[in-house]
């Protein structure tokens, strides 16, 4: 060991070295671009290694669809959904 602290952020699976802001923007863009999905009431945040989706969806199946879209950006297993259906 050289005596330098390890920088582990670049190897974080799913994030691929992107900043939190860039990751959030990419997921938000993907959610809004989905033609079969309304993402107007979803907030995207990051906590540690996980992307968090919070807010409301309108139709049955939209929670799963939102998570699927987000996982397409950050990787499977790195998305936590806190979404409710109205």
List the CATH code of the domain at 15-83.
3.30.1340
Q: What is the mean pLDDT of the chain?
A: 84
The predicted-structure confidence for 17-72, as pLDDT tens digits, reads as follows 569 999 999 999 999 999 888 899 999 999 999 999 999 999 989 999 999 999 99
What local confidence, expressed as pLDDT, does residue 7 receive? Answer: 31
pTM: 0.77
What local confidence, expressed as pLDDT, does residue 6 receive? Answer: 34
CA gap 85, 26 in Å, rounded: 23
∠ Cα 45 47 51 (to 5°)? 55
What local confidence, expressed as pLDDT, does residue 4 receive? Answer: 37
Residues 6+ apart with CB under 8 A from 37: 31, 62, 65, 66, 69
Report which of 72, 41, 80, 76 is spatially closest to residue 59, judged by C-alpha positions.
Answer: 41
């Amino acid at each position: 060991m050289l005596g330098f602290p390890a920088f582990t952020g670049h190897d974080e699976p799913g994030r691929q070295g992107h900043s939190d802001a860039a990751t959030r923007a990419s997921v938000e863009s993907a959610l809004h671009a989905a033609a079969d999905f309304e993402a107007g009431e979803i907030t995207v945040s990051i906590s540690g290694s996980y992307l968090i989706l919070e807010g409301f969806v309108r139709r049955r199946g939209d929670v799963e669809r939102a998570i699927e879209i987000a996982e397409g950006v950050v990787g499977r297993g790195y998305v936590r959904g806190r979404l409710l259906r109205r």
